[in-house]
Every structure is written in structure tokens, then in C-alpha cells.
Amino acid sequence: MKERNIKLELSYDGTYFHGFQVQPNQRTVQGELQKAIEKLTGSSVKVIGSGRTDARVHARKQVCNFITHSSIPISKWPNAINSVLPEDIVVYSAEEKPITFHSRFDVKKKTYRYTIYNDQFIDVFRRHYTWHYPYPLNMNEMIEASRFFLGEHDFTSFSSVKSDIKDRVRTIYHFDLWQEGKEIYFQITGNGFLYNMVRIIVGTLVEIGRSKIKKEEIPKILAKRDRNLAGLTAPPQGLILWDVLYSDN
């Protein structure tokens, strides 16, 4: 059987995963996918993701691909793989792609959504999917500050010091920030994101909403390229990889 390049679209609840990428003696999304595919096909594969998510970060839409010689019909893949995956990962689409397709390098845009639960008391049913923040926030200031992130910038100040990526220039196409009841949503679309970038942006906007940082400081913080000048890193459980777009979407 010739080599086939299978593209999967999937969702997962990151609560009990130690991130996407395989790590020794840890439960990971990539690890569970590779075990499931090997169980189906009898051969080991390397699953490539559109990007890595951290421990406790979720995905509404993650995209992966892998090379296989399996003859399983493409229409059968979602049900087949779901039958051997744990219940906190669901594959909902499979497509055969040209052998050159790469789920990471071919990405054109990604969207992340972050959710804050803004109330005195935590919602026990939302604690794994939101950042419980009990203090009042100035939404107008946060919305105005969010506009400074639009466009092309060097996001060194808004990335983890642990990141070893040299090119830290990214473009933000859309940034929407709104409130529904007790939940505050941050939705960001860009051509790529650095390690912890969305969580640091959210943490910084929260500090602006608490008047700990002035919104006018954002351009200066971007220009200085110094992580120490930006705000805190928001906790992981409020973050969802919301969408991944390719040129054929």
C-alpha cells in the first residue's frame, strides 16, 4: 500500500493532559493519538499537530496529520479512531491530503479564545474552562487597549522567556473582547503565536482593567521587547485553540 497523508480535525478537553506534545511518563494528546493509530493500523506513526498546547489548555479545533500505509477508507477514520481514543479527545473529520501537506507549516491563521469568569464566587462547573477572577474590571479600558495589538509587531515582551524562537514578529488580524453575563471573552486571530503569548496578553489586559497598567503603555511595552514590562501570565485552563485555517479553508 502506498503512503497516505491523513489530516485529522479534533477537539480535546485539556484538563487531564500534560499538553499536546509527547513527554516521558506523561499523558499527552499526541501520545494518545499515536497509541490509538498504532492500535488501529499495527504500525507506529508520528502525529504532527498544527501547534502545541500547554497542560490544561483545550482545543475546539486542532489539526493534525500523519503518514500511514493503512488501507482504512478515509470515511471510516473518525469512527475508527474514536473507538480507541479516550473520551476527552474526539476526532470529527478526516481527509486525505497530498503527501506534502504539513499541519504545522501550512497554517495561515489561528484563532484562540480565552474566557474569564468574573464573579465573587467560582462556578464549580466552569472551573476547568475559565479563569476565575473575582475583582471588578474596566471593560472599556481593556477593549481600547486590545486595539494596540492589531497589526504586525515584535511580541518578545508578550512571550515566555523560556521560548528559544528567534523571529518573534507576528501579525494579529482580529482581536475581539466582550462580556456575556459573568464571562469575559478574548478572541484573537493571527498568523501565529509565541509560547504563552495569548495568556500574557490576557494577563496584561486584566492588569489594565484593574488600573495597574495604563493602556497607553502597550506600544512602549511592545517596543522595549522586555517580558518584565508586560503583565502576568493568565492561567492555562481559560485558553482554547478555537480555529486553525489553511489556504483551502
Statement to judge: residues 147 and 238 lie in one domain: yes
Predicted local confidence at residue 162, as pLDDT:
80
Q: Identify whether 138 is part of a domain.
A: yes
Q: Identify whether 14 is part of a domain.
A: yes
Predicted local confidence at residue 248, as pLDDT:
74
Statement to judge: residues 148 and 229 lie in one domain: yes
Q: Identify whether 102 is part of a domain.
A: no
Predicted local confidence at residue 121, as pLDDT:
98
Statement to judge: residues 48 and 160 lie in one domain: no
Predicted local confidence at residue 7, as pLDDT:
98
Domain end point (choices 97, 130, 154): 97
197-209 vs 139-146: helix axis angle to the nearest 10? Answer: 140
| CB burial of residue 117 (10 Å; 0-12, 13-18, 19+) | buried
Pick the catalytic residue from 13, 54, 106, 119. Answer: 54
With CA atoms as reference, report the closest residue to 170 among 158, 184, 185. Answer: 158
Predicted local confidence at residue 249, as pLDDT:
63
Domain end point (choices 43, 68, 97): 97
Model pTM above 0.95: yes
Predicted local confidence at residue 29, as pLDDT:
98
Statement to judge: residues 140 and 240 lie in one domain: yes
Low-confidence spans in the chain with pLDDT less than 50: none
The domain of 45 spans 4-97
Statement to judge: residues 201 and 236 lie in one domain: yes
Is 54 designated active site? yes
Domain end point (choices 49, 66, 97): 97
Statement to judge: residues 128 and 93 lie in one domain: no
Q: Identify whether 157 is part of a domain.
A: yes
State pLDDT tens for residues 25-70.
Answer: 999 999 999 999 999 999 999 999 999 999 999 999 999 999 999 9
